[in-house]
Chain A
Amino acid sequence: MASLLKVDALQGITAAGDITVTSEGGAATQSLQQGLAKAWNNINASFTIQDSFNVASCVDESGTAPNTYTINMTNAMSNTTYMAFGTAETSGQAPRNIGISSPATSSYLVSCCVSNSPSSGTSVVGNTAVLGDLA
């Protein structure tokens, strides 16, 4: 018979921030928390947040370079060596890339690039996500 466990919060006994889960293949265990995306966001060409998780704000940095913005996170990361990655999309067919720089525990800078430089085109949508440890 299937069992149903209802709970609002998950917390490790040995360490509050460490719950392990068994792998799909059953051969390994890994930290549940470390496998979760700690933030993600979809930002349009007007630097408006279209959807997000753990994002406090998006700041227009286009005065520095076109299609460049800062993502400020609500809950801070524990260090500045977290992994952030993303994809840029826009009208027109060209190589689009995301450049991520200036990582701080609560923010990082995003540049939507055409080939190897920030794009001056319009309608760029930036998608980024963050993996790593929260503070």
Chain B
Amino acid sequence: MTSQLNVDTIVDKAGSGGSNVKMANTSTYVSEGGNVTQNTVQGLAKSWANFNGEGTAAILDSINTASLTDSGTAKFSINFSSAMANVYYVFTGLAFHSSASGFDDAVCISRDNTQLSSVSTTVNPFYTMRVEGNQELKDCKENMVTFDGDLA
């Protein structure tokens, strides 16, 4: 029998506002406009990270990240704690390179052919490269990446 729960707010049992609510992967939600339903779990970002890529690279904030690997100038890997279901998860991100004098230029996040072969359900390699100017690999202070897809 299909069940429906009408509720305005979800909190944990203690009522303290914690994040202890567990949701089945078949859960759906009603759209903002009220016209359709979609799967709730598939709409959640499965991992994201804000990291500093300069000097000793370090994750500043994140979810579902076991570690950040620094493989040389501007080459990194985000290693997931919980694996994705396949290697076709959606990887998006941005970075910005700031020079000592302040504003410098935009930086893209992408992968080269050697990194593409290393993509796995738990390891996501990528590089950061200046878009204009020398178009060189560049370590950036500000890096933000997100991952959408299905967890295993």
**Nearest opposing residue in chain B for A93, CB measure:** B112
Most B CB atoms within 10 A — which of A50, A90, A123, A129? A129
A19 and B113 form a contact (CB under 8 A): no
User: Which residues of B20-49 are within 8 A (CB) of A?
Assistant: 20-22, 24, 26-40, 42-45
Q: What count of chain B residues pass the 8 Å CB interface test?
A: 64
B112 and A129 form a contact (CB under 8 A): no
B66 within 8 A of A: no
B92 and A85 form a contact (CB under 8 A): yes
A96 and B86 form a contact (CB under 8 A): no
- Cα separation A42 to B21 with both chains bound (whole Å): 30
A24 and B92 form a contact (CB under 8 A): no
B89 and A133 form a contact (CB under 8 A): no
Q: For residue A53, which residues in chain B have a CB less than 8 angstroms away from its CB?
A: 39, 42-43, 148
- Cα separation A17 to B6 with both chains bound (whole Å): 11
B92 and A8 form a contact (CB under 8 A): no
A34 and B32 form a contact (CB under 8 A): yes
B113 and A92 form a contact (CB under 8 A): yes
B6 and A12 form a contact (CB under 8 A): yes
B80 within 8 A of A: no
B92 and A10 form a contact (CB under 8 A): no
B32 and A17 form a contact (CB under 8 A): yes
B86 and A51 form a contact (CB under 8 A): yes
B127 and A134 form a contact (CB under 8 A): no
| Contact partner, A22, options B9, B26, B27, Cβ 8 Å | B9
Q: For residue B148, which residues in chain A have a CB less than 8 angstroms away from its CB?
A: 37, 40, 53, 129
Q: For residue B10, which residues in chain A have a CB less than 8 angstroms away from its CB?
A: 19-22, 32
- Cα separation A26 to B141 with both chains bound (whole Å): 29
A9 and B29 form a contact (CB under 8 A): yes
Known: A24-B19, A89-B111, A94-B129. A36 touches B40 (CB 8 A): yes
Report, nearest first, the 8 A-B pairs whose CB atoms are least far apart: A36-B43, A134-B31, A91-B113, A22-B17, A51-B88, A96-B110, A133-B32, A50-B88
